[in-house]
Amino acid sequence: MPGSFNRSVNALRISYLAPVTRNTNLAWRWWLAELSEMLPENLRRIVATANQRLIISTDGDEFIMHHGSAKTLQEIGRISSTAEDTPEFSMPNDTQQCRLLLPQDQVLIRTLTLPLAAEENLREVLSFEMDGQTPFTADQVYYDFVISERSSAGKTLSLQLFVAPRHVVDNALAKLAAAGIQPDVIATQGLDSKLEESINLLPEDKRSNRNAILHWVNASLATLAILLVATAIALPLIQKDQMIHLLEAEVQAAAVAAQASSRLRQEVEKLVGGSSYLTRKKKTELTIVDLLDEMTGVIPDHTWVNRIDISNDEIQLQGQSGSAAELIALIEASPTFGNARFRSPVTQIVRTDQERFHLSAEIIPGQDE
């Protein structure tokens, strides 16, 4: 029961909370942009200062430094990436973020479709799948991702995976560190602004936070805006709310007896229905232990399973096998399972004779005696 409850909560979060959060973030950015236009000139200068960035791009053997806000970037210097001695670079004092943009030919971008359930541990899933989806293993790259679509109907998740070889990133960071520069964000050139803002290939342990002033200003403005909006909405509704409460009190007083009777009847019906339901379930449904025992006898020795999901009428298996195609016929031959099918394409594991599979089968209920 706890596992089923957790899966239900996670499904609701993926289906409803994630889209709401994404739309809220977009609305939040629009609101801050509109609000900044109404600020006094001195406050706008403070916000503009808090948004100053150092953007580092590459041109052949040079790092090119641009400084300013998104609308006022100006080139302020260049550093050779091949020179033995790197001169110290004077970082502008008002820089709140340092962003390194790698060339597109140094970043691998893949579009992937995964089961929706993978979102719960998506970074770990991508790490496990790295050698199957890219020419690299997880310990050879830095990576990040952006979710582009969730399909509740198809139970799939579409995303863009951004992968950069570690030696490329580490070499660039070492050269910039010699010049006294530590990037906060690593992205790739040529992306639209929203997508570029969403990714960061820099590992967590190498990131620094220069955005304290910007966060403080944005939080203060957001708090002020929320208070103003709440006040404007609440004032004309106070009297109506008081009248509604008075009417509700009268209605509730008249309905107390009827509600008590209704609750008592519902409790009796639940007790009767629950008793018969449990009896039927005991007679007709297999236990999880029975299902696992049957599946253990079906699966051959050359196959191992690393994940089993059991719902009311379905079992799903994920793992590796020396012959994944053989599993369908073996499971179909069991009287406990039926309609066995692959949930995703079978993939060959690199440099092994094993195949990675994800299949499901319907659980055939027992017969009531």
Alpha carbon distance 221, 113 (integer Å): 39
Question: What's the pTM value of the predicted model, to 2 decimals?
Answer: 0.47
3-state SS, residue 86 = coil
Domain ranges across the chain: 1-38, 45-210, 227-283, 288-363
What pLDDT is recorded for position 139? Answer: 92
Class of CATH domain 45-210: alpha beta
The first and second tokens of residue 270, run together, are 């639940």
For the chain of 369 residues, list the mean pLDDT of each consecutive stretch of 10: 48 51 60 63 59 81 81 80 73 78 90 89 90 91 90 88 92 86 87 82 72 56 76 76 82 80 81 66 70 86 89 88 88 89 90 90 71
The answer to whether residues 160 and 175 touch, using CB atoms and an 8 Å cutoff, is no
In b/e form, how buried is each residue of 231-251, taking b as 16+ CB within 10 angstroms? eeeeeeeeeeeeeeeeeeeee
DSSP codes joined into one string, 301-329: TTEEEEEEEE-SSEEEEEEEES-HHHHHH
From the number of C-beta atoms within 10 Å of its C-beta (0-12, 13-18, 19+), residue 259 rates as: exposed
What pLDDT is recorded for position 199? Answer: 86
Alpha carbon distance 285, 282 (integer Å): 6
Q: Which residues contact 365 (CB under 8 A, 6 or more apart)?
A: 284, 285, 286, 313
Alpha carbon distance 136, 22 (integer Å): 31
CATH topology for 288-363 is Gyrase A; domain 2 (3.30.1360)
Alpha carbon distance 284, 290 (integer Å): 13
